[in-house]
Amino acid sequence: MELQCQKCKYQFNSERLPNLCPFCGALNMVRNVPSASEILMEAAQQEEKQKEVEQRREEWKKRISTNQD
């Protein structure tokens, strides 16, 4: 898997997630680098959540305007 240190930005491949960055030695700063498809999937999920929030907001606006009439 492709990994990157969040402190020094060193990228490397490893079979397992190490506790220390092999370049700078930072503790617990190594993270998995997401693939392009993972990034696109996450963006699509966030877009879907945003649409749901906007729909709920419109529903609440309609309810409020109905109650004020």
Average pLDDT per 10 consecutive residues for the chain, totaling 69 residues: 96 96 97 94 97 95 81
Report pTM: 0.58
Give the pLDDT of residue 69.
61
Q: Which helix (H) or strand (E) holds 12?
A: strand 11-13
Give the pLDDT of residue 67.
77
Alpha carbon 30 to its chain centroid, in Å, reads 16
User: Where do the domains of the chain lie?
Assistant: 2-68
Give the pLDDT of residue 58.
94
Burial state string for 24-58 with b = 16 or more CB within 10 A and e = fewer than 16: eeeeebbeeeeeeeeeeeeeeeeeeeeeeeeeeee
